[in-house]
Amino acid sequence: MAGHTAIYPGSFDPITNGHMAIIFQTLKLFDRVIIAVLNNASKKPTFSADVRTELIRRSLAGESRVEVDTFDGLLVKYAQSKKAVAVIRGLRGVFDFDFELQMCNMNRHLAPDLVTVYLMAEGRHSYISSSVLKEVAQLGGDIHGLVPQPVEEHLRRYYNRPAHS
């Protein structure tokens, strides 16, 4: 889709290798992707929007077609302000579908020209969620290979855990 921009919104608290796989799939379809980090304190994220944004930037260093930004408010208004043609949503399985269908239909109501594109998580990433990762890291479990290196290092420092060998 020459010249087209997609928005990949989420809390990314923190970004996982599942999210990274969705980003790289998106880059096969669109010229540019904006990773839009939700800045909503009522969701009670573990990490601030600034920390999440910095971890994503470090994880995607060298990807010139990726922009990392924050947003609050309506996603469709943000997408329109960025002249995006699509919203990217990752699906890990059927448990994600009902919520995503509701959001898609509401977004379609608010912005009929904005397309929602669903990308399936790779099987090896389908069980990964940010909340489960944080719990495993906090309890001293091995998260190597489940998150980008900058995120793994940050989580180890945050939870004061040594690296696994």
Q: Name the β-bridge partners of 89.
A: 118
**Annotated catalytic residue within 89, 130, 134, 154:** 130
Q: Is 92 a catalytic residue?
A: yes
Q: Is 130 a catalytic residue?
A: yes
What CA–CA distance (Å, rounded) separates 105 from 114? 11
Residues shown for the chain? 165
**Annotated catalytic residue within 19, 125, 134, 154:** 19
53-70: b (≥16 Cβ within 10 Å) or e: bebbebbbeeeeebbbbb
Q: Is 19 a catalytic residue?
A: yes
**Annotated catalytic residue within 57, 58, 82, 92:** 92
**Annotated catalytic residue within 28, 43, 83, 109:** 43
Q: Which residues are catalytic, by number? A: 19, 43, 92, 130
